[in-house]
Amino acid sequence: MKQIVYPANERGSNDIGWLKANFSFSFGPYYNPEKTNFGVLRVLNDDIIAAGRGFGAHPHDNMEITTIVLKGALEHKDSMGNSGVINAGDVQVMSAGAGVTHSEFNPSPTTATESLQIWVFPKERNIKPRYDQKSFAELLIPN
């Protein structure tokens, strides 16, 4: 497998106050034609979401989306009827398939959330959307 190193200081970034994002690949306001994806890996974002803020309901389709909360929590709601909190150490996997709408908010009134979001192009398009979440908190090494 081909190996490419993207140093952290060469990532794209965006700071809109409530969201500080670092982009490994072209995403949102960051565009670099040499970094649009790596094979099926489309997005690798490192986000800090301010307390009480987040992303309102928005659609996705035909993308496999994994969210890993490193610190804090994210409250998730989607059009499949799923709702709950993704805590530090949890991994959420959402297959947007034929289409899903979801929102993600930091439920804390005081603490920022740090998370990674990874998007992968699907092997098969327009499948039935699905959702899963699992905690790996017991594997976290205390700081």
pLDDT tens digit string along 63-85? 999 999 999 999 999 999 999 99
CATH label of the domain that carries residue 84: 2.60.120.10
Residue 105 is assigned to a structural domain of this protein: yes
Looking at the domain assignment, is residue 75 inside a domain? yes
The predicted pLDDT at position 135 comes to 94
Domain presence at residue 133: no
Alpha carbon distances (Å) from 127 to 40, 47, 61, 133, 143: 17, 28, 9, 19, 40
Tokens of 105: 């908010």
Residue 56 lies in a domain: yes
Question: Would you say residue 11 has pLDDT above 90?
Answer: yes
Q: Is 68 part of a structural domain of the chain?
A: yes
In a domain, 11, yes or no: no
SS3 9: helix
Question: What was the pLDDT predicted at 6?
Answer: 83
* Residue 6 belongs to some domain of the structure: no
Number of domains in the chain: 1
Per-residue pLDDT tens digits for 82-116: 999 999 999 999 999 999 999 999 999 999 999 99
Any domain includes 24: no
Q: What is the pLDDT of residue 138?
A: 84
Which range marks the domain in which residue 117 is found?
40-125
Taking only the tens place, the pLDDT of each residue in 123-134 is: 999 999 999 999
pLDDT at 7: 87
Element of type H or E holding 132: strand 130-135
Whole-number pLDDT of residue 142: 66
